[in-house]
A and B are shown apart, each in its own frame.
Chain A
């Protein structure tokens, strides 16, 4: 059995040469984040659809503030500014009212309150200064891991706020008291989420987009419609608070314009994924599968396929976790991780668990 402690580069080389084993690192690396991304409902579907970055999101809550954002999103020559991300909750924007009691007693009102419309623009690689504009909708249909739907939790938060209010309204006293309240609330929420991180949830999202030549909304031009995507994602608890299964499906309908004859082709893609994670103080386990089916794959792209990965890690002693992973695809390995390879399986020695079972 060939055993060696390898650097990242050497590991990759060894795995490429190895007969059967492919490593799949479960968490805490860029590759892992990319890997787990299919299981997370996009925060802003519009941003996800156009492939933008949600670094700075504006969230207007009044019609006037929204109008200001929209006006500011277009420059003096009528071009849409790039890199915008706006999220609004239509229920609040329209002046709708949902009290805390209603929110806790009606899943429908909670869904209405949390419904979110987003819009985003992103620069494209096209040479004509084009901008992709995306518009999306997200519905949190049900979320038992939402602490605000739990009366015991909100009562405890109200009590924290109540007992921390300052005796005088001067700015210094108010700021000091607010910081104290905020710290207590954050700690309380952290405890609640730790105990409820895997409660059932179900969300839907959809987004569509347009390519604006020269970044202009007007005049209209043919072939601006890019297509649309829809997501459905849900999670259920497993073994109390020890585990969770998350599943997600995504359907995408896009238009592809031929560079040769400008003909338009509708392209369909169906993505699916599932992830199971279990954890205890001594042993963690993760398994995930991601698949795709395409109606018209590009050259050298498979029509359908699936990837999978599994990781088991256990605590050998205080401060030492040993993990092994196996999967269908090679992933990036952390620079700081020491790795031992036994006949195709990757073994890691870490000072902390990679599989963080619990709230995100």
Chain B
């Protein structure tokens, strides 16, 4: 990872659910997280893939992604998220999440990535 260059965060959804998500970052020494992207499954350019650029961010920064899914009860959802720089995927920064919604058809994925 080149900390002098911006990061591209790409997220895609592969299941029939209504989705909204939000991304935050926090640089070392920051007291609070800063929102850098918010979206829904409706705002995409190709298929269900969404890309957002952030940074450059220094080493030790944190990225948080929160994704909410809403669909039918006990249905399988799937999402993938990857970090890239200048179009090249960063090894070790690809994430895949699969699970099922609960009895209300709701599910949440919230994760923190530390950039090192």
- A and B held together in a complex: yes
CB of A70 within 8 A of chain B? no
Q: B104 and A100: CB pair below 8 A?
A: no
Q: A92 and B110: CB pair below 8 A?
A: no
| Segment 145-178 of A: residues with Cβ below 8 Å from B | 146-148, 154-155, 157-162, 165-169, 174, 178
Q: B106 and A168: CB pair below 8 A?
A: no
Q: A100 and B38: CB pair below 8 A?
A: no
Some 13 contacts from A to B, beta carbons below 8 A apart, are: A59-B100, A100-B15, A100-B16, A100-B18, A102-B16, A113-B15, A113-B16, A158-B18, A161-B68, A168-B24, A169-B22, A181-B70, A182-B106
The secondary-structure label for the interface of chain B is strand
- Chain B, Cβ-Cβ closest to A57: B74
Residue pairs across A and B with CB atoms within 8 Å: the count is: 116
Q: Besides A99-B41, A154-B18, A160-B70, 18 other CB < 8 A contacts? A: A59-B74, A61-B76, A61-B98, A61-B100, A97-B14, A99-B14, A99-B48, A113-B75, A148-B71, A161-B19, A162-B20, A162-B40, A165-B21, A174-B108, A178-B68, A178-B106, A181-B106, A182-B106
1/0 per residue, CB under 8 A from A, across B49-68: the answer is: 00000000000000010101
| Segment 1-59 of B: residues with Cβ below 8 Å from A | 13-22, 24, 32-33, 35, 38-42, 47-48
CB of A338 within 8 A of chain B? no
Q: How many residues of B contact A (CB 8 A)?
A: 40
CB of A349 within 8 A of chain B? no
B78 interface neighbour in A97, A146, A166, Cβ under 8 Å: A97
Q: How many residues of A contact B (CB 8 A)?
A: 43
Q: A169 and B64: CB pair below 8 A?
A: yes
CB of A255 within 8 A of chain B? no
1/0 per residue, CB under 8 A from B, across A11-42: the answer is: 00000000000000000000000000000000
Q: Chain A nearest CB: distance from B24 CB in Å?
A: 5
- Chain B, Cβ-Cβ closest to A60: B100
Q: Which of B15, B33, B74, B75 counts the most chain A CB atoms within 10 A?
A: B15
The secondary-structure label for the interface of chain A is helix
Q: Chain B nearest CB: distance from A44 CB in Å?
A: 11
A161 interface neighbour in B18, B35, B100, B110, Cβ under 8 Å: B18
| Interfacial chain B residues near A95, Cβ < 8 Å | 78
Q: B76 and A92: CB pair below 8 A?
A: yes
A158 interface neighbour in B19, B33, B48, Cβ under 8 Å: B19
Q: Chain A nearest CB: distance from B113 CB in Å?
A: 12
- Chain B, Cβ-Cβ closest to A95: B78
Q: A157 and B104: CB pair below 8 A?
A: no
* Bound-complex Cα distance A155 to B41 (A): 9
Q: Chain B nearest CB: distance from A159 CB in Å?
A: 8
Q: A165 and B78: CB pair below 8 A?
A: no
- Chain B, Cβ-Cβ closest to A93: B76
CB of A82 within 8 A of chain B? no
Closest 4 CB pairs of A and B: A103-B16, A161-B20, A92-B76, A97-B14
Q: Chain A nearest CB: distance from B48 CB in Å?
A: 4
**With A148-B17, A174-B110 as given contacts, are A158 and B42 in contact (CB-CB < 8 Å)?**
yes
- Chain A, Cβ-Cβ closest to B72: A148
| Interfacial chain B residues near A161, Cβ < 8 Å | 18-20, 40, 68, 70
Q: Which of B15, B68, B74, B99 counts the most chain A CB atoms within 10 A?
A: B68
| Interfacial chain B residues near A158, Cβ < 8 Å | 18-20, 40-42
**With A148-B16, A169-B33 as given contacts, are A162 and B38 in contact (CB-CB < 8 Å)?**
yes
* Bound-complex Cα distance A178 to B75 (A): 18
* Bound-complex Cα distance A158 to B110 (A): 18
Q: B104 and A165: CB pair below 8 A?
A: no
| Interfacial chain B residues near A257, Cβ < 8 Å | none
1/0 per residue, CB under 8 A from A, across B70-112: the answer is: 1110111010000000000000000000111000111010101
* Bound-complex Cα distance A336 to B115 (A): 65
Q: Which of B18, B35, B38 counts the most chain A CB atoms within 10 A?
A: B18
